[in-house]
Each structure stands twice: as C-alpha cells, then as structure tokens.
Amino acid sequence: MTTISKGGADYIGYEYKEKIVPKSMVSMYLDSYPCFGWEEDLNRTYHGENGYSGHIALRFRRDRKICNKTELTRLQRNFDGCVSEIEALERSKSSMPTMWALIVGIIGTAFIAGSVFAVTANPPLIILCILLAVPGFTGWFSAFFIYRILLQKQIEKVAPLIEDKYDELYAICEKGNRLLV
C-alpha cells in the first residue's frame, strides 16, 4: 500500500516566455533576465537555432505572484528596447561603409562596361578602352579600401554610443534586481 505525504513546498504558478535573441546576445539575456524575476526554464532547455539565421530561442519562467510585477515588466521592456538599439548600432557600423563600397564598385563596373563596348565596337577603340578600363579597375580595387577606412571611422563614431547603451542596460538591471530583494 502506498502512502501519500502532504509535505513539501506549496504550489507555484509560473508564467512562461520564449525570447528569440541573436547568438551574440544570449549571455546578456541569460545574465540579465533574472533581474526581472525570470529564470531559465529547466524543463525546456533546448537552445538550438529555430529558423532565424543567427538567432536562438531562450525559454524563461517567472512566478505569477511576484512582487512589483508591473514595474519589473516596464524595466524589462526598457531593457529589450536598449538591446534593440544596441543591435541597430552594431548593424550601422557596417551599413554605411558597405553602401559606399558598393557605389564605388558599381561605378567601376560601369567604366569596365564602357571599356568592353569600346573594344567590341567596329572598328575597336583601343585607346578609349584603356582610358575607361583604368578607372574601372581602380573602382573595383579601391572599393575594399574605402570599406575598410569608412568601417574604422564608423566604429570609432558608434563605439561610445554602444557603451552608453550598455551602461543604461546595467542600470536597468540594477533597478530590477533591487525590486526583487
């Protein structure tokens, strides 16, 4: 005959959240979400990729009767907003240099196309072909260096803004952690 014991902890009702995050921010979320009352859901530990390139699904749970729930939720939304801004700033590092490198490369391609048309003309215009090929190859060759120079300038410009956002994230997490204690 089996006996049923009534000992143990009381029942805790949880609310669940699945968050799809970039691979580069997984540690940030796993370290920061506990400051808002969330804990990693150990019942569902799968962290594999889920169809979004470079993103991972994290699963969290939180006590439904947690104190200061509305304020923690507000802080969590601020945290998510700051993370989105950091991601946008990270993308902006390479977007402008890429755009300029592509423009220079396309202009170089236009010169090469003109060079090809000049050499295939009847009679072939060799001098014009050479005159158009030189800026064309220069455009192709210089696109890489333009990208590298502009990327370095953009990184120097954006790095302080990203650091400020990280400082804001840490302040938000500290506020959330104080509300939990």
Q: pTM to 2 decimals?
A: 0.75
Q: Which residues pair with 61 in a beta bridge?
A: 16, 39
Per-residue tokens: 177? 């952690």
Please tell me the predicted confidence (pLDDT) of residue 22: 87
Per-residue tokens: 41? 């859901």
The answer for 68, left when phi > 0, alpha when psi is -120 to 50, beta otherwise, is left
Please tell me the predicted confidence (pLDDT) of residue 172: 94
Per-residue tokens: 45? 């530990």
**Along the chain (181 residues), what's the average pLDDT of each consecutive run of 10 residues?**
58 85 89 90 64 81 87 93 93 94 96 93 90 94 95 96 95 91 70
Please tell me the predicted confidence (pLDDT) of residue 75: 93
CB of 97 closer than 8 Å to CB of 154: yes
CB crowding 138-158: b at 16 or more within 10 Å, else e: ebbebbeebbeebbeebeeeb
Question: Within 10 A of 110 (CB to CB), how many other CB atoms are there?
Answer: 14
Positive or negative CA dihedral for 62, 63, 68, 70? positive
Q: Which residues pair with 22 in a beta bridge?
A: 55
